[in-house]
Structure 1
């Protein structure tokens, strides 16, 4: 057996070992603390700051869109987003009951929205436990559906989807800013000066040539015409023929960009530039212009109109009014298919094709790049023996309403085809001028003499011809009527028309 002396020695040895071990651990910890405090202080400070710092994005205000009289057609306002996770709401029944009063929505519907993790937007002051409120910018269109198809709208990401909003999206959006924000350990924001950041740049503004008053009248008249005639849709455009400025542009049915998703996509289309159609008799003026330019006819030249029925290479062409001889002028005034068909045959394919090109058919106007169609004007190499007569009557060629209006504007403007424009000026977020609407002559489409003759003929058409419904006493009104059968499943319909 070990004596007490041996046991004491063992105890002393173990105690010394433990003491040395503890002291060693203490010195290791002490050295590490010294290293942290003196050697790695900057690394740990940066780590701590990075955990307490957050880079916040500052969203710029989207630019304003004005009409020609500087009335606001599109703006951005501060709204509030309200959202929650259902599991965070401690008293759902009471919360949804209170929210229902402000949202004018049944509590059961609100409960369903939150359960599906969807957001509901409302400006509200009261706070509810579990509900989070976030400030956001909402796009607002004060005139609601007036001009909606021209203005377009923005999506949930504040990016332009259609119209002017899309065309000038980059400049309207502005430039995001950012700020470095410091928070305390409880997540509260701490105001500290000298932190990094960059100021936001609000979007640049756009000034249009549209007039809200004209636009509203145009939309009202289109809606009335659609209703009175039982039509599927209608469209119209107001242009200053001397400058090319678009004063009004609309189609019906329309939509309200404040709530774009509530309307069918068809309503959002700007049909003035997106739809092409066979123009029918309104295209007769193109063949007439070509005939006058070539000198083959003058306004008093006589054309035999076959008593209202003409057999042309197996095709029968009819007139609504039976006539024997008509002057060149009366062919247009009374819209004779036979007369214009014979004029086109004599002037030749190339003359008709070239005048069509001169007046801008078969090419985009450039008003809304990437959003408009160019219509169809086939080269003469693809024409048949009677194609010129058919094209002269507005068949086998398609056009947008804007192309057609600009062609007629060339007649009003002494033969000059102008570039249409709808933006007076547009600015970048740095307030630099990006676009400026100016009178731009694309080309001379016809001589001044031809344009003057056609204006006289078109005035007679309204005063005593097929356009009598457009006559306004005390005003000089020039125009041409036109009706074309719609092509349905590859054949001309006998029930559907474009007029």
Structure 2
């Protein structure tokens, strides 16, 4: 076989080197360039754009949170709490972050104690929003059950809820707050700005799910609301409410109210109303129970006004305590009206007119006085004017100006018709009799410093005379006998007045009243009791309201450590 010529040429290492060296250099250059770009980017991010990027990161993780400030406490005069704020948890959600998984939603609904359909409907309703409440003001234990589920899109907000330890006993006076902890009724509303705290702020670090990672620093400290100390003595308040409620139930009445004032300085020691309501559970709230009737409701007071009208007569030159007035034959015609007494009492002195509550006697006295004499006395006592307590809805009452008054209007004004007062106004007026003629303005807050002197309205001797006359009414056999308190001298006046309807005075609906002072020897408290429309067998003030006065005042005097009176004969 012939030997084939081999024309194949195998390149040497020297011939291949230039091509391999070029690729190497190219790759090396590319690597270096890539490293330079990476280093440059690192420098750019960490030096040139550091402030911007850090700001962007902080915007997604740093948050300024509000620190809720709790509402100030309301307490009685001895520091017992009447309204306090307790921590609660509000759960809210971002509907756009909530899972669509039925099982998770069912577990969430169960932990929230709501129906799954209700939860789904709410999520659908707020689907275009980033915020919705799941449940507000839960106890921490209840909220923790939901938090432990770790459901995406569920967030926590710490808040405060108002709690009222004395419940219905002080409900109308203290008032209530709404779901946002703002005052809606009573003193909660009147002093809302004072009781409301100032929220604080803090900067925190949170993860992308909104969970707290770290508390960074405090921006502004939360400032709690101011504390309010009332003049109310909770011991007396409980006792007054219990006795008033029992009397309303016993007499099948529409309601009732009681006001007890300190005869030395005007502080309101007790203020009870029935019916009431439980401010801690408003599911079945009756709006009638919201009103603090002692302050907001005005009514014709009837015969309890006679001592106040009598003070004007005794200060005139025409009458003295011994002046005799003939009330025979037990009725009288004035204009087109007939004024009646319960029976014919014959001739009575000034004390006798009050003792027998003679409408005829008061009318004869009034018609001998200057036309505006009794009106002036009522006006001086603050009737027809707000008493300045600052309580929302405080009634001014009604005291029509004496222009072109007929004789019948002047007469009826003397025995408590044609004028409207609140129970608080009436109690304040009676402090003038108890306090040597100086009337004390009512205070719902505990007073600090020296006791106020009061405004002189009635001459001191006249006030003392009236006190003696009223003491004779609270004696065995007299109209106010059921107001007697064993061991103490009591002064007071009964009243029974027909209620007014749109068609005029009702024939079978009455208000029963008793206004009294105790003890006579050194007056300590003034108390007014009103029972509204007693529908039992008895409805007279001496039979319905006076027993409440006796029970409440008797216990109050002992709780206040007022020493019993020594037996003294009535003059």
Query: Would you say same fold, with TM above 0.5?
Result: yes
Residues 430-472 of structure 1: CA distance to partner in whole angstroms, max 9, x if unpaired? xxxxxx5863345211011010000001111111432111122
Q: Mean alpha-carbon deviation: is it higher for 256-265 or for 358-367?
A: 256-265
Matches within 5 A, 1:39-438: 39-82=48-91, 90-91=102-103, 95=107, 99=111, 110-111=115-116, 114-115=119-120, 117=122, 119=135, 121-122=138-139, 123-124=141-142, 125-126=144-145, 127-128=148-149, 130=151, 134-185=157-208, 187-191=210-214, 193=216, 195=217, 197-260=219-282, 262-381=284-403, 383-424=405-446, 436=448
CA distance in 1, matches of 2:117, 2:317: 75
SS in 2 for 1:457: helix
SS in 1 for 2:430: helix
SS in 1 for 2:168: coil
Instruction: For residue 135 of structure 1, report the CA deviation from its aligned partner.
Output: 3.3
Q: CA RMSD in A?
A: 3.0
Corresponding pairs, count: 459
CA distance in 2, matches of 1:482, 1:323: 18
Larger Rg: 2
Q: Mean alpha-carbon deviation: is it higher for 443-452 or for 481-490?
A: 481-490
TM-score (norm 2): 0.74
1:458 pairs with 464, 467, 470, which one? 470
Is 1:495–2:508 an aligned residue pair?
yes
CA distance in 2, matches of 1:384, 1:292: 23
SS in 2 for 1:259: coil
CA distance in 1, matches of 2:104, 2:60: 34
Q: Is the contact made by 2:385 and 2:397 (CA closer than 8 Å) also made in structure 1?
A: yes
CA distance in 1, matches of 2:503, 2:345: 32
SS in 2 for 1:257: coil
Residues 411-434 of structure 1: CA distance to partner in whole angstroms, max 9, x if unpaired? 011111112112127xxxxxxxxx
SS in 2 for 1:150: helix
Structure 2 residues without counterparts, runs of 5 or longer: 1-35, 123-133, 513-571
Instruction: For residue 136 of structure 1, report the CA deviation from its aligned partner.
Output: 2.7
CA distance in 2, matches of 1:488, 1:332: 28
TM-score (norm 1): 0.84
Structure 1 residues without counterparts, runs of 5 or longer: 1-26, 101-106, 426-435
CA distance in 2, matches of 1:28, 1:262: 73
Q: Is the contact made by 1:90 and 1:129 (CA closer than 8 Å) also made in structure 2?
A: no
Q: Mean alpha-carbon deviation: is it higher for 116-125 or for 60-69?
A: 116-125
Q: Mean alpha-carbon deviation: is it higher for 331-340 or for 383-392?
A: 383-392
